[in-house]
Amino acid sequence: MLSSLQLATLAGVSQGTVDRALHGRPGIRPATRTRILALAEQHGYRPHPGAQELLHGRRLTIGALAPAVNLIFFMDLLSELKTALAEQDCRLSLTPYDGAAEFRDALAEFAARRVRGVFAIPPADRFPLPEHLTADMPLACVLNRCEVGNSLFLAPDERRAGRDAVTMLADRGHRQILHVTSRRDAFGIRERARGYTAEMKVRGLAPRILKPADDGALTVALAATDATALFCMNDEIALRCLRALARAGRRVPEEISVLGVDNSPTFIRLCPDLTTLAWPMRELTRQAAAWLTTGTVPAGPPPPLILVERGTIGDNPDPFCEGHR
């Protein structure tokens, strides 16, 4: 890649003339412009983004920070974000991180690079951050919150999702509803469990939460359970439950219903029949893009998760049986 000065030398003109040609500014002979443009095209000239940003304080790239742990949901989320940012004419530069220290370091790197803003999936909820990091650079967080100014946490109404899940399953006659979740800690995981527990209690049902260590434990637990419905924390867990139930010879949804959360496209491709609560990915990434590029704070309450009915939820097969408690 050559510089504008090299291009000027090649064309036998000064840097200023090259600039006029490249930017369509007046004060240049058409023949000169054509010649320079042809040369630029031929050599694939591009202005150095670093130099541009340095000079004009321009900020047209958005940094993204996601855990290197490959949760399929993250990828789909970032893919949506890319679409939302393209509408705002912004580039996306993604850095994967491993652990809290790397997260902080990568954030400082973005700050030093003077990116326009950062979209992040913090390593833990209520993650503390020095104020100076975000003083000049808005931060949009999802899944976990950051404790720092100039930042915005974008989330749907996760607690309501937990309540809605119970309500929906109870309306189908289920009373033994098991919440299968993860040992990981995150805002949404905790809130969904709280919503689930609250709604179960309101209905006089006993909340039961399963956090399987591995698929073996899951298979054992599901083979023995008297639950007629599983409310899974996300689609990945739902898929693992479906596989465990298949191994245990239990039919879905005839004998037992399974509900996931996320509706992440990649997962649904793997598991096209899964009924799930769709995380409003498009709306929230749009809100994030708006906040990062124009500083717009989303108005109104957090959006709900929407039920997408496919084939893994059925009525309680035996509504009058309370199960062997």
Partner DNA sequence: TTGTATGCGTTATCAT
Partner DNA sequence: ATGATAACGCATACAA
Residue number, 89 or 214, with CB nearest to DNA: 89
- Residue 204 near which of a second copy, DNA, none (CB within 5-8 Å, type-dependent): none
- Residue 266 near which of DNA, a second copy, none (CB within 5-8 Å, type-dependent): a second copy
The C-alpha angle 92, 96, 99, rounded to 5 degrees, equals 140
Spatial contact of 237 and 181, defined as CB atoms under 8 Å apart: yes
State the minimum distance, in angstroms, from the CB of residue 9 to DNA.
Answer: 10
Residue number, 35 or 310, with CB nearest to DNA: 35
Spatial contact of 308 and 263, defined as CB atoms under 8 Å apart: yes
On the 0-12 / 13-18 / 19+ scale of CB atoms within 10 A, 190 is: middle
Residue in 87, 109, 309, 322 binding a second copy, rule: CB under 8 A: 109
Spatial contact of 208 and 226, defined as CB atoms under 8 Å apart: no
Q: Name 311's Cβ contacts closer than 8 Å, sequence gap at least 6.
A: 253, 273, 274, 275
Pick out residues in 70-129 that bind DNA (CB under 7 A): 112
Around Cβ 164, how many Cβ atoms within 10 Å?
22
- Residue 75 near which of a second copy, DNA, none (CB within 5-8 Å, type-dependent): a second copy
Pick out residues in 234-263 that bind a second copy (CB under 8 A): 236, 239-240, 242-243, 246
In the stretch 127-146, what mask flags binding to a second copy with x, by CB under 8 A? ---x-xx-xxx---------
Residue 205 engages a second copy in binding (rule: CB under 8 A): no
Residue 57 engages DNA in binding (rule: CB under 7 A): yes
Pick out residues in 12-41 that bind DNA (CB under 7 A): 12-20, 22-23, 25-29, 32
Q: What are phi and psi of 118, to 5 degrees?
A: -130, 135
What CA–CA distance (Å, rounded) separates 94 from 20?
34
On the 0-12 / 13-18 / 19+ scale of CB atoms within 10 A, 310 is: middle
Residue 68 engages a second copy in binding (rule: CB under 8 A): yes
**Residues contributing to the site for DNA (CB under 7 A):** 3-5, 12-20, 22-23, 25-29, 32, 45-48, 51-52, 54-57, 112
